[in-house]
Every structure is written in C-alpha cells, then in structure tokens.
Structure 1
Amino acid sequence: MSKRKAAFYSMTIPALLLFFTFHTFPTLQGIFYSFTNWDGYSDGYDFVGFKNFKALFTDENVLNAYLFTFKYAIVVTVLINVISLLIALGLNSKIKFRNFFRGVYFLPNVLGVLIVGYIFNYIFANAIPTIGEALGSETLAINILGSEKWAWVGIVIVAVWQGIAFNTILYLAGLQTIPRDLYEASDIDGAGKWETFRSITFPMLASFFTINMVLAMKNSLMVFDQIVALTGGGPGRATQSIAMLIYQGGFQGGEFAYQSANAVIYFIVIVIISVVQLNFLQKREMDA
C-alpha cells in the first residue's frame, strides 16, 4: 500500500467510525425504539408496531407544537433573508468603515446561542420592563416572555438578530461575484436602483438566495436552544417547538419511544420541506 493510500485510510476510517458511533447508530437505535413502548429507563419493552406513529396524528400537544414551529420558521426565514440582504447591499456600497461594520454584523454568529438567549432573557424580563415603568409605558413594562400571545415574538427577535450574521456574509460573497460591467451598463441605460436590483442584482444572487433560504428554514425548524434559554416552552405550551417537545417528553416525561416516533416523523418532514424548497428555488434560478 502506498503512503498516499495509507494516509487516506488513516484519516478516513477513524472519521467514519466516529460518525457511525455518534450519529448513525443513535439514529438507527431511535428508529428501532419508535416501534416499542420503552419509557427510557425501564429494563424491558414491548413492540407496538405503528401505534406510536398513529397516536401522533391525534395528539393535540404534537399538533400545536408543529403549528408553532412552522409559524416560527416561516417568519424567521423571511425576516432573516430580507434583513441580511438589505445589510449586505448596504455594506457592499461605498461607505466609511465598511470592513468594521462587516465584523460587527458577523459577531453574533460566533456567540453561543444559549449565552445570547440568557442575555436577551434578562433584557426582556428585567431591562425593558424597568425602562417601560420609568417612562410610564404599559406596553414596555410587560415582560413579553411571560405572555402566551407575545412570547414567540421574543424568540423570533433573538433568532433573527443572531441568524442574519451568517446570511449577510453569504450575500456579501455573492455580491462580489457580480461583474461591475453590468452595473455600468445599467447606469448608461438610465436604469434606477430598483430596476437594477430586480434585473441584475437579485437574479445574479439567485444561487446564494437558495442556499440562505434552505439553511434558514432548516435551522428554524430545528429551533431549540433559544426556547430553552428564553421560555422553556412556556408560558404553558405556547412556545413549545417540536424539538422542545421531543426533549421534554422523551427525556423528562417517560415517553422515549413515543417521542422517538415523533423525531422520525419530524426528520421526514424536514427532509421533504428542504427537498421541495430546494427544487422550487433551483427551478426559479433557471427561470431567472
């Protein structure tokens, strides 16, 4: 065996073993348990077939968690991409301290999600209400994280604030690939800023838009850390996402097998949404 092949196998095989041990095997184990009634801590279990999967479709808590997660994911995905694209366009223009602002906007991406969540928890629960009381504003004096109606808005604010960093960098990279000749020709033809954006900038950013939309949607559907740090799924179950429900029911509520079935279903849902979204946006790229 040549030294090159030996080096290849010495790096590849350990990586594959680690991936199988900590990713593939637990996944297969979870699928196996989804067909049982194991509670997560007892010694024995029985096979129940598709009973867990059938029960999911009539479980009100599961349905509410799906509705909340989809609502949250759609709002966050749209806001992240709109705001990050606007920021990228601004940072790509000729402004002072452009590189400094690029670093500032990327900073949230390197911060831990839980750390950011706990900081915003303090802001929403203490800082803003204190300021609201000082100003005599009843609206600001309320802790929105304690409201069943508005708690999800606080989670959206944190997710968008942290999520725009990565998307902005990708859009900036995309803007660098657009030939300046196109903009010069557009100026000669007398096209306005909106027409230039609609006819040149956005079509040329189509592939980056696809990547950002798919990643933002996928990350939003898997929301967990922000909810742990901000609301814990409350008040009540108002902000309980699917990931949060799986964690609470599977590891704290004695529903390991049942929530394993929920995780299998949710994995399939995420894959379907990602594939459909990717195909639709890629088709749009070709049309553009």
Structure 2
Amino acid sequence: METKIQTGPVSTKAQMQTVPKKKFKVKSLLGYAAFVGPALLFFLVIQILPFLMGLYYSFTSWNGVSSAVEWVGLENYLKIFTNDPAFFNSFIFTTKFMFAAVIISNVIGFAFALMLNAALKTKNVLRTVFFLPNVIGGLLLGFIWQFIFVKGFASLGNMTGLEFFKMPWLGDETTAFWGIVIVFAWQTSGYMMVIYIAALQGVDTSLLEAAKMDGASAWTLLTKIIVPLILPAFTICLFLTISMAFKIFDLNISLTGGGPFNSTQSVAINIYQEAFQNNRYGLGTAKSILFFVVVAIFTTVQVMMTKKREVEA
C-alpha cells in the first residue's frame, strides 16, 4: 500500500506562519531599540564608562592634569591600607554618622507620616512645610544652619541662659557630629515622610477597623498590622537614607568643612581633597572604588534583610 506525501500545501502553510513571526520579531527588536536604546546609551556613557575609566585610573599615578599616565598596579590600594590613617578616620566618622542619621531621619519621617495620614485640616500645608527642606540645596542649607548654630543659638543662649544653646555646636567634635546629623535629618525626613504616607494610604482600613473592634490597642495596630503591611516602604527609605548618608558631602563641607581638626571629615571630602587638592587623582579614584564596594555591600545586605522580613511578614 503506497503512502502519498503532500509537501506542497504544508510547506506553503509553514512559510505563511514563519514570515509573520519573523516580522513580529524584527518589529519587537526595533521597538526595544527605539525606546530602550537612548536610555541604555546614556546609562553607558554617563555611568558605566566613567566607572570603568575610574577603575583604570585607580591603578595609575595620574595627577589629573598631565597627559602622562603611569601604571602602578596595586600600589594605591596598598597605600590606603598601610599608610593612610586619615581615610580610615573619615570612614569611621561616616559609618557612625550613617547609623545615627538613618535611624533619626526614618523615625522622624515615619512619625510625620502617621500624623499627616490622619484627618487633619492642615495636612496638605504641613506636608509642604515638612517636605520643603528637601528642595533646598545642600550647600545653601549648610550655610543657613551654620548661621543658626553660630549666631542664632548663641543669641538664644544669652536670652534664655540654657546651656544647650551655649554649646560650641560646630567647634567641638561631639557637638559638630550631632549638628550634621540634625541638619541631615531635617533635610531628608520630609522626603521619607512622602514615601511612608504613600504606603500608609495603601493600607486596607477594613483591617484596622476589624482589629479595633477586637480590642486592639493603638500600639498593637501599629506594630502588628501597619508596620508589617508597609515594610516595602521601609526597604526603600532605608536604602535611600543609607546611600545618602554614606555619600554626604555638601552639608559636611558647608557646615564644618571636615573640622575641627578633620574630626568630622566624611569619606567624600577625603576623596575630593585627595584627587583635586592634593592632585593625586589615581589615589583618589582608588579610594572611591573601595568606598563604592563598601556602600554596595551595606545597601545589599540591608535590602536582603528587609526583603526577607517582607516575605516573613
């Protein structure tokens, strides 16, 4: 018994099916290229390329001005770990500042969010007032608070006789540290407040009403229902404040300039002075690469821990 194989109609049908698929793939690639291409190009030029160039210069002794670039290998990194106590002192200061600033700014921002999420008549005005410091530039904000600490607090101290206002806020190591923390928290807490308010408005009110009917206290509502439901907002706010606190530069340089006696010098100021004032660009970029690695480790660990809590909650 013979079997007849009809190849003509089948091949024609297959061609009709493959041609539209190929056209669809080409159109998809063109669409991706049109919409993603410009953003990807700018990202490569503005972010990736400078990072790779900085990584290269960290292995050189370039002074940032001359055309001669001498390859020195790991010499810059060895200098940092063996003969640069100023960098490690600035790193210790920055780490302590980060922990204090992150906790205080998030606590204040979350407290503002809880207050303004209630049915207040002036909540829109208060949201604007609390968010306004975030709009002001860091240098300008630092000079404003420098005047407040030096002149304003001194006048209040003479009027009231309170020792709190008479302290040398920017002239002592301890008070200067807390002065920078206060200004940072004052600037960033409004931004954190906006994120927390957006998260609080997404909480289902029926859950809160049901818990109230069951006799749950305000503290129980906050810790057992509200906070677990808005943990993604905590993840975002902690990530933002950790990165901003680590990279602090403008507030630090306008308030204290790293003084007194470099006791409040952040890592960013140390890198800036090394690269652009001491004309050791290679050593400065080596410090910035190490600083990038440390900040990446801190933020990655924080995101992993808070994301894990989100899943558990």
Q: TM-score range by the shorter chain?
A: over 0.9
- Supply the distance in 1 between the matched residues of 2:217 and 2:34 (Cα, whole angstroms): 58
CA distance, structure 1, for counterparts of residue 300 and residue 220 of structure 2: 31
Q: Which of 87, 95, 100 is equivalent to 2:125? A: 100
How do 1:42-191 and structure 2 match up within 5 A? Answer: 42-58=66-82, 59-191=84-216
Matched, 1:35 2:40: no
The 1-side partners of 2:125 and 2:27 are apart by 46
Matched, 1:202 2:257: no
- Taking a change above 3 Å as real, the CA distance of residues 187 and 66 of structure 1, as seen in their structure-2 partners, is same
2:303 aligned residue = 278
Q: Tell me which residue corresponds to 1:216.
A: 241
Name 2:267's counterpart in structure 1: 242
| Coordinate RMSD, CA, aligned | 2.0
1:188 & 1:149 partners in 2: Cα distance? 49
Structure 2: distance between partners of 1:237 and 1:41 = 27
Query: Alignment length, in residue pairs?
Result: 288
1:104 aligned partner, one-letter code: V
Deviates more, 1:132-141 or 1:244-253: 132-141
Equivalence for 2:277:
252
Q: Which amino acid aligns with 2:68?
A: G
Query: What is the CA-CA distance between 1:140 and the residue it aligns to?
Result: 1.9
Larger mean CA deviation between 110-119 and 10-19 belongs to: 10-19
1:225 Cα offset (Å): 0.9
Tell me the TM-score normalised to structure 1 length: 0.93
**AA partner of residue 218 (structure 2):** K
Query: CA separation of 1:191/1:270 partners in 2, compared to 1, >3 Å: closer, same or farther?
Result: same
Once residues 264 and 47 of structure 1 are traced to their aligned partners in structure 2, the CA distance between those partners, rounded to angstroms, is: 17
* Unmatched 5+ stretches in structure 1: none
Amino acid at match of 1:246: I
User: Residue 264 of structure 1 aligns with which residue?
Assistant: 289
After superposing the two structures, state which structure 1 stretch, 48-57 or 185-194, moved more.
48-57
Unaligned stretches of 5+ residues in structure 2: 1-22
Decide which structure has the larger Cα Rg and report it: 2
The percent identity for this pair of structures is 37
Change (3 A) 1:260 1:203: same
The C-alpha deviation readout for 1:137-156, integer Å capped at 9, x for no partner, is 45423431121221111111
State the 4+ residue runs in structure 1 displaced beyond 6 angstroms: 1-8
TM-score (norm 2): 0.86
- Judged with a 3 Å threshold, the aligned counterparts in structure 2 of structure 1 residues 103 and 4 are, in CA distance, closer, same or farther, namely farther
The one of 23, 30, 43 aligned to 1:19: 43
* Structure 2 contact 168–175 (Cα < 8 Å) conserved: no
Q: Deviations over 1:196-245 (max 9, x none)?
A: 11111010011111111111111111111101211111111111111110
The answer to whether the 8 Å contact 2:59/2:73 transfers is: yes
